[in-house]
Amino acid sequence: MNNIDCLIDSFTDYMKNYLLLSEKTIVAYSKDLSQFSDFLTIYDPTVKIDNIDHITIRHFIAHLLEDGLSRISVERKVSALKAFFKFLKRKGLINTNPSAFISFRRGERTLPTVIKTHNEAEKLVETPLKDEYYIARRIKNPKMGAIKVRDMCMMRLMYGLGLRSSEVVGLDIEDVNRGDFIHIKHGKGGKARIVPKGEKTTKALYRYMEVRGELASNETPALFVNIRGNRITTRMIRYIVANYVKRAGLSGVTPHTFRHSFATRLYEAGVDIREIQELLGHSN
């Protein structure tokens, strides 16, 4: 059990013995906070409770929304976080309450986020290979080196081709071995499509396939796998992106942001809107 989980247990006891909340509320809040703790183990495994800031909480909210949670459910989880950090502040366990200025209302509507510049997006995509431990890990632990290349390749597909995270996880090896094109078998609504790779995506895929054997055998059909050789999940992609976004010094960027940025970049370059829709797999 990590330090944050211990603090969650302390807060649970506080809710039971001092706040006298209903059992239903206590169970719900405890579950919400455990989910936040799970998010942190991927977002930043080394994070300490007093290092959590409002940006971390914003990324958690974005993760929940992308996971398909209703705004009512997200609002409750935010309430749980606010109560938790207020408790920690009152106990003197943190100096600043990172949730103090976080507001989330059910009726809020925000415009899709895009990465401001192409250079900023490229920097983010290449962040896994700029990791200070990447070279050492590649030599001492080939699996960890392969994971870094995998992460770069997945972000390259989302930014360079506008793929959804669900389409990335659904790719098999055979889908990318089609010359200059990638076969998307599992698009939204079950629609399949063919998309051109492009030079940077081709290089990224080649680089990943060179090290993929460290994670899984070629008998495993899934293109992107985790450290145990199983197909990666959309939830894992969200965690991975959130981690690199933080390392790159950015905020508010999720897997879907890559897709919006891809479409915006093409539109600003004068590409016909119907062609963009076709590349994105939109019906109209």
Span 251-277, pLDDT tens digits: 878 888 898 888 888 877 888 877 888
Which CATH class name applies to 3-90? mainly alpha
DSSP 69: -
pLDDT tens, residue by residue, 159-206: 999 999 999 999 999 999 878 899 998 777 778 899 999 899 999 999
How far is 93 from 95, CA to CA, in rounded Å? 7
- The b/e string for 118-129 (b: 16+ C-beta within 10 A; e otherwise) is eeebeebbebbe
Q: pLDDT at residue 39 above 80?
A: yes
Average the pLDDT over 77-85 and give the result: 92
Q: Give residue limits of the domains in the chain.
A: 3-90, 118-280
120 vs 244: CA distance, rounded Å: 12
Superfamily name and number for 118-280? Intergrase catalytic core (1.10.443.10)
Model's pTM, two decimal places? 0.63
Asked whether the beta carbons of 129 and 198 are under 8 A apart, the reply is no
Three-class SS state of 128: helix
- pLDDT on residue 130: 81
Of residues 257, 252, 255, 261, the one with CA closest to residue 238 = 255
137-157 pLDDT per residue, tens: 555 678 888 999 999 999 999
